[in-house]
Amino acid sequence: MATPQQQLDGRRLGFGIDRGGTFTDIFVAYPDGRTGTFKLLSVDRLNYSDAPTEAIRRVLSDYTGHELTRGEPIPTDHIAWIRMGTTVATNALLERNGEPMALLVTRGFKDLLHIGNQSRPNIFDFDIQVPETLYEEVVEVDERVVLEDPSCKMDISGRNVRAQNGQLVIVEKELDDEGISHSLRPIFARGIRSLAVLLLHSYIYPDHEEAIGRIAEQIGFTNVSLSSRVVPMIKAVPRGFTSCADAYLTPIIQKYISCFRAGFTGALSDVQLEFMQSDGGLCPVENFIGSRAILSGPAGGVVGVSLTAFDTERPVPVIGFDMGGTSTDVSRYAGQFAHAVDSVTAGITIQAPQLEINTVAAGGGSRLFFRDGLFIVGPESAGSHPGPVCYRKGGFLTVTDANLVLGRILPQFFPHIFGKDECQTLDKEASMKAFEELTGEINAQLKQKGRSRISMAEAALGFIQVANETMSRPIRRLTEAKGFDTSQHLLSCFGGAGGQHACAIARALGIRRVMVHRHAGVLSAYGLMLADVVNEQQEAYMKALNDENFVEIRDRFVHLEESCRQNLLSQGFSPVDIRFKRVLHLRYDRTDCLLMCSPTEKTGGNCVEDFTVTFEEQYQREFGFTVPGRAVIADDIRVRAVGRRYLLKADSERGQRADEPAPRKSITKCTFPEGELDTEVFDLSELSYGHEIVGPAVVIDKNCTVLIEPNCRAEITPEGNLLIHLLDVAGGGVSAELDPIQLSIFSHRFMSIAEQMGSVLQRSAISTNIKERLDFSCALFGPDGGLVANAPHIPVHLGGMQAAVKFQIDHIGLPNFRTGDVILSNTPRAGGSHLPDLTLITPVFFSDQSLVPGSMPPHSTTLAQEGAAFHSFKIVDGGLFKETELVEQLMAPQKVPGCSGTRNLRDNLADLNAQIAANQKGIGLLQELVREYSLPVVKAYMAHIQRNAVDAAQDWMDDGTELRLAVEIDEKTGDALFDFTGTGLQVHSSCNAPPAVLMAAVIYCLRCLVGRDIPLNQGCLEPVKVYVPSGTILSPSEDAAVVGGNVLTSQRLCDVILRAFNAVAASQGCMNNVTFGDAQFGYYETVGGGAGAGPGFNGRSGIHSHMTNTRITDVEVLERRYPVIVRKFTLREGSGGDGEPVQLSLLTERRVFAPYGLNGGEPAKRGKNTLCRRRGETRVNLGAKNSAQVEAGDVLELETPGGGGFGERK
């Protein structure tokens, strides 16, 4: 085997190959120092079966002068090494064509991965499309391991064992080897050969999983993915998903590798074959597994950016912008790779260290649409087959077609790989014809609305501008949402399509310098050539980071380092070329926000301070605060070992500085916002160090095209790269008159601001409800308080925010708002939904002119009870935080008999400060937008976006209160009246729903009925009138209890509204609120149930529906943090200390009236709440709403309602 340090000998070549979704990029290193690059279509079934094999065949045929026959094994005597990045794993996940596999899981949790975190990916879809689980069968294993809690006596028996991290665990149920074998043999007989094993708490006690693995291998299973090996980290759900992905993908990868190797003589046995992993490191082919292959493709590009765009002597952080045909990947590099603990691909959570790469479904192949007066780009992609219209395969209109029509792609310089004979160039005429047709459709709609026509070029340019804004959003999330100033970065554009959008993306982000590497078109393949080999080892720890424990932590580091060293030595690396990086996964106690922390190279990680200082600095930078005095927990210990490579120098200089002007190749016509302009054309290969180019210009290379826009200047660096300077990054030039293109762009900008406010809030908050359960929403409002844009996590907030903002405008008066004011409100008469929803409203000023209020209400209490009331409280008065008055108000409920003040004042204050910071983020971004476009334009488009947007039904609450609705629609005007006359009177309970909840239900249901992604704002309600008689459950008096109206009545309202439209059967009709605790702690959870069926689809099981979408606490986290054991998703109190009772509270619905069916569909089963008393062995039906004292050993059975059926059963 070739050693890593071996230089290419006199006749062997090295290959870097990145197999992407649309193109396969090839980088070739020749023995004499030359390099070569080219592209192939990843899928071209008429001409070859595998693009990487075909690429090597073509290179060797040219190199040897002997044409190698396609389909015959390729000789390997001229191949030294092959390094590949591949989308095989990603594609298998997306297309769901992986290996059939089965899951073995602890008994009682067979549906754990089906339920997942119980949230739905699109809150407005009736037909809830949650990607199905990967396994074909699931087997429950009779075993149970329980954590020993020294603070309380566990009412269980079993064998005490010390786990890998030194913690005591109780083996309550031993593994039955014979039973396992009996369960596995029928699965094996049905042809399944791959298994995933997920046992609770196996991340610290893997013995049972290891035993199952041995039994399965004896039976004949060829792949067994043990969760304790794949990812030994806490959280059963993501660990289970990752293990299933590993079992699902590893056999597919092995099959692909076997087929690839079969295309060469000797199956590449004498060639060094390595694959890129998701963490940015190469590994030998035999170590390449499914769970580490998800980001194999884009990881090479991040490596390429790190080695070509980041200057270690003058360190400026770099944004990597990889625009391909199917999607765009963005990354950030500031001297070291940024890794994430988990990510979601194709609906599957992968919990493993991997490069932090944000992907947006917008690329050269993104399809173009005009819908609802908006220019839409993606997310649908034309792919490589049939591809864009210009690919000559009968494809779809895409971003690539738009660039071609605008003259930004020159067909004569584009690869000639199209058509039946693979030698034709792009078909510009076909693109122009398709655009003429779409422009006709656009003008027809504009004519109906009395607006001016647009030209084909204006339409194409509009789609490009919208695509640029779409791709800018993930960059803002990666930088601004994490506390980094986007404008202070260098933009490194690469990928086949990146250079065409480089200047526009930079201008949109305020960036003044753009680097386009000379190998930008194949930078991912180039990065593969430069990448190091990486081996990682990891163990769970789950203990406090302190001086006492660090002795043990240091010993574990040494043990893991030695294991990594032996792995790399076996691959031929010498000890001097091996480097280690020590990593701890750290978090504050009682939080789930995990940071991967490593010391600097100078400190080395040999003492506690090396990690605590890094943790606090990183926490302060990302979240804006630290929590002094709170313990820091080390969840995991990880070592990253790197085998350094010296085979290829990253960059080399191109000789002397050129004195003569850059040689121009030709002049063409390109369309810009300024109009059609003469544009010079240059060939990158003919340019030398020192050459300068003034835009507009096009620089062509055989693998990419770079557009240098007007007001930009480019220079060739000593290394032969293109460095573009933007002379003007300001926007403007937009009138306040409605323009459909700008309408689409402002829609993205407003939504991006709301999203970044949410990111700041989630990062800065300390409570689990905000940080992990995502129980919050953020929004922007116009000067009149009308909703402009929101980033909704929880639909029930939709009405409350707008009502609260309008109330404060009327109550305080716009002239009385001052810069630096922040208003806190939560009472129903002030527009709130219920007291736990705290809304913070901050007015925005620009040059002393009031612009817009921002608002967000998160749940900031844990127990579902009504407490401190804020009608119109200035939490910040002219920039001064009124902490004393705030604390007095938060503790005021303790004066009421039977009530208490807040249980966690420090966390409450931290969350409120996080809300203030999030609103401040929104203010800054809005002010930037005003500086870019002017105040009149921003105000005008707030109004434009708001403007862009006979049946009866009834149902009963469980207490018998009727909800009645009649809907009248005027077919001529489109106006609608929602009349709730006949609805029952307000009730002497907490189920009264204030107007804000009612309006949230109406706007949510209307958005669902539309069925398309439309701007969700005040404009949706302009044609809608709602009438509710006062004094009813939907319009209660000011002092009525309303906490249940927010979480229960809101759900039943949705059922009634949707029944009026005959849209979908009833869902579970509640949020199944469960709380328990005592004076020291409180636990609050909402539990999913069944969603109603509709025309052509079944309702989803085990999921939140309609007005909520909070995530559920992972079972392993719950059992570690609270004195409980979870059985079949029911709680069994392990009670705090010698059986001390805790208070259990339930707030649920649909325990009396079943969720109805529609169109002949059957009703679903009602929910049921049963308390099983350990003493006396009695079972008590608690009803829908109740509280009870529970003792150690008591068990709560929470059976959530199902969803009604749709249509007669056949």
Q: How confident is the model at residue 17 (pLDDT cuts 50, 70, 90)?
A: very high
Asked whether residue 429 carries a pLDDT value surpassing 80, the answer given is yes
Preceding omega of 893 cis (within 30 degrees of 0): no
Q: How confident is the model at residue 796 (pLDDT cuts 50, 70, 90)?
A: low
Q: How confident is the model at residue 1185 (pLDDT cuts 50, 70, 90)?
A: low
Asked whether residue 508 carries a pLDDT value surpassing 90, the answer given is no
Contacts for 29 with CB less than 8 Å, ≥ 6 apart: 8, 13, 14, 15, 16, 35, 529, 647, 648
Higher pLDDT, 795 or 816: 816
> Regarding beta strands 849-856 and 873-877, do their DSSP bridges make them parallel or antiparallel, or are they unpaired?
unpaired
Model pLDDT, residue 1046: 60
Asked whether residue 873 carries a pLDDT value surpassing 90, the answer given is no
Arithmetic mean of pLDDT, 965-990 = 70
Per the CB < 8 A criterion, the answer to whether 638 and 538 are in contact is: yes
Arithmetic mean of pLDDT, 949-961 = 49
Asked whether residue 857 carries a pLDDT value surpassing 50, the answer given is no
* Dihedral pair phi/psi, residue 970, rounded to 5°: -85, 110
DSSP assignment of 503-559, as one string?
HHHHHHHT--EEEE-TTGGGHHHHHHHHPPEEEEEEEEEEEE-SHHHHHHHHHHHHH
Domain-by-domain residue ranges, the chain?
Answer: 366-466, 533-643, 740-946, 949-1063
Q: How confident is the model at residue 713 (pLDDT cuts 50, 70, 90)?
A: very high
Eight-class DSSP state of 415: -
Q: Is 837 helix (H, G, I), strand (E, B) or coil?
A: strand
Q: How confident is the model at residue 470 (pLDDT cuts 50, 70, 90)?
A: confident
Q: Which of 129-133, 705-709, 870-874, 1145-1149 has the highest mean pLDDT?
A: 705-709
In this structure, of 457-461, 639-643, 1204-1208, the range with the lowest mean pLDDT score is: 1204-1208
Higher pLDDT, 629 or 186: 186
Asked whether residue 634 carries a pLDDT value surpassing 90, the answer given is yes
* Dihedral pair phi/psi, residue 1024, rounded to 5°: -115, 130
Higher pLDDT, 932 or 262: 262
Q: How confident is the model at residue 715 (pLDDT cuts 50, 70, 90)?
A: very high
Burial 683-709 (b: 16+ CB within 10 A, else e): bbeebbbbbebebbbbbbbbbbbbbbb
Arithmetic mean of pLDDT, 255-267 = 92
Model pLDDT, residue 835: 53
Q: Is 816 helix (H, G, I), strand (E, B) or coil?
A: helix
Q: Which of 206-210, 444-448, 806-810, 1197-1201 has the highest mean pLDDT?
A: 206-210
Higher pLDDT, 540 or 979: 540
In this structure, of 202-216, 266-280, 302-316, 476-490, the range with the lowest mean pLDDT score is: 476-490
* Dihedral pair phi/psi, residue 300, rounded to 5°: -60, -35
Q: Which of 7-21, 679-693, 1045-1059 has the highest mean pLDDT?
A: 679-693
Cα(35)–Cα(957) distance, rounded to whole angstroms? 74
Eight-class DSSP state of 597: E
Cα(32)–Cα(55) distance, rounded to whole angstroms? 20
Cα(402)–Cα(461) distance, rounded to whole angstroms? 7
Per the CB < 8 A criterion, the answer to whether 1195 and 1127 are in contact is: yes
Model pLDDT, residue 641: 92
Please work out, in degrees rounded to the nearest 5, the angle formed at the alpha carbon of residue 826 by the alpha carbons of 820 and 827.
Answer: 130
Asked whether residue 954 carries a pLDDT value surpassing 80, the answer given is no
Q: How confident is the model at residue 1174 (pLDDT cuts 50, 70, 90)?
A: low
Eight-class DSSP state of 146: E
Q: How confident is the model at residue 831 (pLDDT cuts 50, 70, 90)?
A: low
Asked whether residue 54 carries a pLDDT value surpassing 90, the answer given is yes
Asked whether residue 73 carries a pLDDT value surpassing 60, the answer given is yes
Model pLDDT, residue 1004: 76
Asked whether residue 37 carries a pLDDT value surpassing 60, the answer given is yes
Model pLDDT, residue 870: 64
Asked whether residue 75 carries a pLDDT value surpassing 90, the answer given is yes
Q: Which of 111-120, 240-249, 526-535, 1183-1192 has the highest mean pLDDT?
A: 240-249
In this structure, of 19-28, 370-379, 914-923, the range with the lowest mean pLDDT score is: 914-923
In this structure, of 256-270, 385-399, 864-878, the range with the lowest mean pLDDT score is: 864-878
In this structure, of 398-407, 516-525, 1164-1173, the range with the lowest mean pLDDT score is: 1164-1173
Can you say how many angstroms the Cα of residue 1054 is from the centroid of all Cα atoms in its chain?
28
Model pLDDT, residue 798: 58
Domain 533-643: which CATH number of 3.30.1490, 1.10.287, 2.60.40, 3.40.1010: 3.30.1490
Average pLDDT, the chain: 79
Torsion of CA 805, 810, 815, 821, to 10 degrees: -40
Arithmetic mean of pLDDT, 539-558 = 92
Q: How confident is the model at residue 732 (pLDDT cuts 50, 70, 90)?
A: low
Express as a percent the part of the chain with pLDDT over 70: 77
Higher pLDDT, 1102 or 767: 1102
Asked whether residue 197 carries a pLDDT value surpassing 90, the answer given is yes
Give the torsion sign (CA, 1119, 1125, 1131, 1136): negative
Model pLDDT, residue 4: 36
Give the torsion sign (CA, 655, 661, 664, 670): positive
Among 166, 114, 235, CA closest to 592: 235
Model pLDDT, residue 1143: 63
Model pLDDT, residue 1136: 26
Element (H, E) at 920: helix 905-933
Q: How confident is the model at residue 406 (pLDDT cuts 50, 70, 90)?
A: very high
Cα(895)–Cα(525) distance, rounded to whole angstroms? 68
* Dihedral pair phi/psi, residue 886, rounded to 5°: -65, -45
Q: How confident is the model at residue 558 (pLDDT cuts 50, 70, 90)?
A: very high
Model pLDDT, residue 395: 85
Higher pLDDT, 650 or 929: 929
Cα(981)–Cα(990) distance, rounded to whole angstroms? 21
Q: Which amino acid is at 495?
A: G
Structure tokens at 369: 């649409």
In this structure, of 16-30, 311-325, 897-911, the range with the lowest mean pLDDT score is: 897-911
Asked whether residue 739 carries a pLDDT value surpassing 70, the answer given is no
Q: How confident is the model at residue 142 (pLDDT cuts 50, 70, 90)?
A: very high
